Structure 1
Amino acid sequence: MTDLTLPSLPFLLSPASPEPLLPRFPSTTALDADEAARVLLLWLDKVGNCPLSADTLQLSLQAARTTSSRLQTRLDALARERSRDDAEAGSHLQALALQLEIALHQGYKRLAMLRDRSGGGWLASSKPRVEALAQALDSAWQLQLYFTRHHAQLPAGFWLDCHQIYAHIAAKNWAQKTAGEPAITLAARYAAILLTGLIASNGMDQASLNAFIPLMQEEARHLQLLAATGELPEEGGFVFSSAGDTPPRFITDWPARKAPGPWWQLDLATLLDSLQARLQALPEPVSQIQLQLLLQLQQNWRHPARRRHRRRRRLESNKLRLLSSLPDCWAALAAEATAAAGEDTGAPELLVVDLSLSGVQLQGEGRLYHIQPGEVILISSKPRHWRCGIVRRINSHDAQTWYGIEYMGKQPQAVEIRPDNSLGTSWQQAIMLKASLRHSGCGLLLMAGRAFNTLRPFIVRHGAQEIAIQATRLLMQNTHYQLFEYKNQ
């Protein structure tokens, strides 16, 4: 089996040298979460540097996984709490939680290599080696999901190791061997990792990710890997090199110079048919999260989104203020409408990295945990000049976070809205946006819930003025809100 990447733990953990013998498993219950994480990381580093048997290493990793899961829960909660006042402190806590996941994955990669090298002769059972490879793939997927939840960049070598582990599995003809409870094939485990790499997971909110995980556990077995022949379907396809450190990428034409192979192509036909069957079988009442997820996966895997506008890199250090969440944005707009001219809404400032006609990318220190993919935001470069948008993706790396934002509309105003001819219906907060040529001169309304129906009449109240409107076309929606066009009646 090819040696996998096993980098040492970063300097932020401790400069202390590991002891020559494996110490007793540390007690972390009486320690603060960050100190307990450091103790466990040092212990895992010692585990990796001690000449242990495979059985001892496996027991050590099982104990560390249980403790690590509890610590990560504590670290995540502390990071969210402290990042409100100190983004750097929150990022440091998140870094410790991520390092725990990396250290555990390193341990399971070591276990797989150790089992392989001590596998015995021709008559020896392959079961211990298969189980160790399954645990290495499970560990990789758990790391991938944990980093995805935190919108963090995967560590270097992650994809190369996954590809090399599966190449070893395929060479042994073990792809269809099962391990664990419930029994899942090694091929299905690898497929789940590949499929998670296909999605724009940095643009998924937590509810969608929670629905995605069990879906992949059930559907990954339908993915098929084909040796790339150099020909692609007319509409393009997802390909990857097992010698590269990258996930599958969608291409329409092969590059003039390809990286070393072998190259593989994903056959998603059976998987997409299964997703379509799930879509048609959704029980009533339909779960909006499940519906949105299935539609998103079908769209992303049949016709991946392509960039619509050229990005312009910003060399000067422009900054934008940012407010998030529909209720907070509405409250800020309503307050500014009645405030004196000199008063202004306080908001964090983020650096403009690049921009296009359809959106902007912002960069900030640390992680603003109250901002999630799918969140409605307001951005502005000067007081009372807000522009409304939606957070499409978030990426965190090395205590820096990038927020990809798509524009919705200009000149937002806080209004109240209720369906016309609906007795007893209370007023609901909404944001009215200026019409644009792209929307045929119609006005735009952004509101929470699922109120939209084509030609449904509404009453909009802005200050003392009330106007009758009619919804005409749904433009955008997620599990939290709808954006639609309207015309005056």
Structure 2
Amino acid sequence: MDPQLVDTQPASVAAWLERLPYTNLAECGKLLGQGLHQLGRVQMDPMQRYKLLKLYLKALDRYYPLLESEAQSGDAAASPKMRLLAAIGVKLFANLFMAFKQTLNEKLARRHGLLEREQPKQELLLYTMMAARQYLNISQQNYCPLPGGFWLDCHQLYGLALQRGWQDKSLAGDDSLAVIYRQLLLLGLTATNRLSTADMQLARQLAYELAKQVELLPLAQLQEGRQGYVLDLREDAPPRYLPAKPSPSQPDCFLLEFSGALASMRKSLAQLRKTSSGGAHPMLNDEVRLLTSLAEEWQRPRRRRHRREDAHAAAEIVAGVAAIWHRVNGGSWQPADAAPDEDGSHLRPPSSPCLLTVANRSESGYLLRGLPLEQPLRAGEVLLLDLAGAAQLCAVRWLLMQPASAEVECGVEILGPRPQPVRAMPSITHSGDNFQRGLRLPASADSPALLLLPGHPFSQLREFRLRDENGEQLIRVSRLHQQSPHFQLMEYRPSDQF
């Protein structure tokens, strides 16, 4: 569109924004993103642009809750529809961040009289930092990588605030600029692409709350060397885990001090463990698991355990416990041990498998790339990977999505060989309980027998009725082997061995 044809009149822009099809998330998101992009191409007074951007913010206050509600109903990479909305949402908030950054730079570049008020510049800086935070949030929520230059922009914005003494400024009802910056840093060093949607929301909430207790210690003022997360305002990168040495010649380098935040997390963990009573409250146990993981990560990042080798092969993928059960049960919902009245013919078949490229492999897993089509790839999901006719049960450990191509990249860990279809139900049940489809990894020389069930059925020594093609037996769970938001892998033995 010709920039001269872009509407810059607040009244007509407000009327256009009011008429947008907010319930059509894809179309509305595209129109808002295009409007912000076109707005950045027009030459105008920065305060006029600022006024128009505030109109867009009101529209986003109406649109974003609808988009977030849809995102919470399914993972970003779980279907073509969700991947499309993810790409549109990320692009929209990228354009919002760029528009505020442009407006701030234009305002700062103009020469004004001595009596000009500083407040508009402070507000623009705050809105730009808030837009950066929202852009980071939606990128992480949708497992999308950030573009080059993002972190350098954030560091320069914070450096500007320090230079002008504005770091403690805030807008009504929001955090100060310094706290917003620390929130960005906490989210930036957290491996959110390993988290489920629910865990990511909790991690973001923790980062927002604990950022006030994180300090930035100048390396120039350190008394001795330490190992920790180091921040360099001159680099286009989030904090990195490095040796931190006293360095008077590096005034732009800081060490993140987590002692206050970690003390709060340890206190919360103690309270949650006391309340959860060893497995009676699955949601609380999930929170304990996430808090423990974040506390470890914020002190020391994960390290790669095995060397990876390049590979070029196609693997057939089936994701989700139910779909894998159907596949290893010979393409049928009918259990081998089913009674005559147990007919599974009315159930819909699962989505067709997809083909993903194996980009590299290691002793513990694979790196996969491609279009998952209708397969619900998500962090923490279980999948069956068939490579050259040899099937393995795997778990998705991290996820990355490329919005421009809708291609997904994920790292998967091998759990075991091709599983066996089984059904399980707690021996002590409520009226109406039914057998649940599960997967069994038989015992081997290196591992005991393992039972994988969806959800969170684990508790120490819990007894199950386990059915397979050989009939039914009573088993007890002896140990939790692995856990994710979508499945639990448990060691078990026959009940009479306890």
Q: Establish whether TM, by shorter chain, passes 0.5.
A: yes
Alignment partner, residue 273 of structure 1: 263
CA deviation profile, 1:42-74 (whole Å, cap 9, x unmatched)? 432342233433432222112223445666756
Does residue 1:309 correspond to 2:336, yes or no? no
2:314 to 294, 319, 322: 319
State whether residues 75 and 93 of structure 1, in contact with CA within 8 Å, keep that contact through their aligned partners in structure 2. no
Shift of 1:289: 4.0
Aligned to 1:11: none
What 5-or-longer segments of structure 2 have no aligned partner?
335-349
* C-alpha distance 374-230 of structure 1, shift in aligned 2 (>3 A): farther
The one of 306, 321, 334 aligned to 2:329: 334
With the length of structure 1 as denominator, give the TM-score of the two structures: 0.82
In structure 1, what is the equivalent of residue 423 of structure 2?
A: 416
Q: Could you say if the C-alpha distance between residues 307 and 438 of structure 1 is closer, same or farther in structure 2, counting changes exceeding 3 Å?
A: farther
Are 2:398 and 1:393 aligned? yes
Three-state SS of the structure 2 residue aligned to 1:65 is helix
Tell me if the contact between 1:18 and 1:45 (Cα under 8 Å) persists in the aligned partners.
no
Q: 1: CA distance between counterparts of 2:184 and 2:265?
A: 18
Following the alignment from structure 2 to structure 1, what is the Cα–Cα distance between the partners of residues 391 and 42?
58
CA-atom RMSD in angstroms: 3.6
Taking a change above 3 Å as real, the CA distance of residues 389 and 231 of structure 1, as seen in their structure-2 partners, is: farther
Confirm or deny: 8 A CA contact 1:225 1:266 kept in the other structure. Answer: yes
Asked if structure 2 preserves the Cα contact closer than 8 Å seen for 1:91 and 1:366, the reply is no
Whichever residue aligns with residue 50 of structure 2, its letter is: Q
Verify: 1:465 aligned to 2:471, yes or no: yes
Q: In the alignment, is the contact (CA less than 8 A) between 1:332 and 1:345 conserved in 2?
A: no
**Residues 453/119 of structure 1: CA separation in 2 closer, same or farther (3 Å cut):** farther
1:431 lines up with 2:439 in the alignment: yes
1:152-171 alignment, distance < 5 Å: 152-171=144-163
The counterpart of 1:299, out of the listed 296, 300, 311, is 296
- Structure 1 residues 69 and 389, CA, compared in 2 at 3 Å: closer, same or farther? farther
Aligned residues: 458
Alpha-carbon distance in 1 for matches of 2:122, 2:285: 39
CA-to-partner distance for each residue in 1:341-362, whole Å, 9 max, x for gaps? xxx9941110001111111111
Q: Deviations over 1:264-289 (max 9, x none)?
A: 22111111111122223346656344
TM-score scaled by length of structure 2: 0.80
Deviation of 1:444 (Å): 1.0
Aligned to 1:179: 170
Once the two structures are superposed, residues 118-168 of structure 1 have per-residue CA deviations (whole angstroms, 9 ceiling, x without a partner) of 585666544332222111111001001111111111122110100000011
SS at match of 1:137: helix
**Residue 143 of structure 2: aligned partner:** 151
- Structure 1 residues 324 and 135: alpha-carbon distance in aligned structure 2, compared to 1, 3 A threshold: same
Corresponding residue for 2:485? Answer: 479
Identity level (%) = 25
Aligned to 1:446: 452
Whether 1:139 and 2:134 are equivalent positions in the alignment is: no
Q: Is the 8 A contact 2:75 2:197 kept in 1?
A: no
Q: Which amino acid aligns with 1:404?
A: G
Q: Is the 8 A contact 2:220 2:251 kept in 1?
A: no
Structure 2 residue 378 is matched with structure 1 residue 372: yes
Find out whether 1:359 has 2:371 as its counterpart: no
1:196 aligns with 2:187: yes
Aligned to 2:345: none
Return the match for 2:2 from 14, 17, 25: 17
Q: Does 1:57 align with 2:49?
A: yes
AA aligned to 1:321 is E
Name the counterpart of 1:290.
287
Which stretches in structure 1 are left out of the alignment for 5+ residues? 1-15, 255-259
- Distance in 2 separating the partners of 1:39 and 1:301: 39
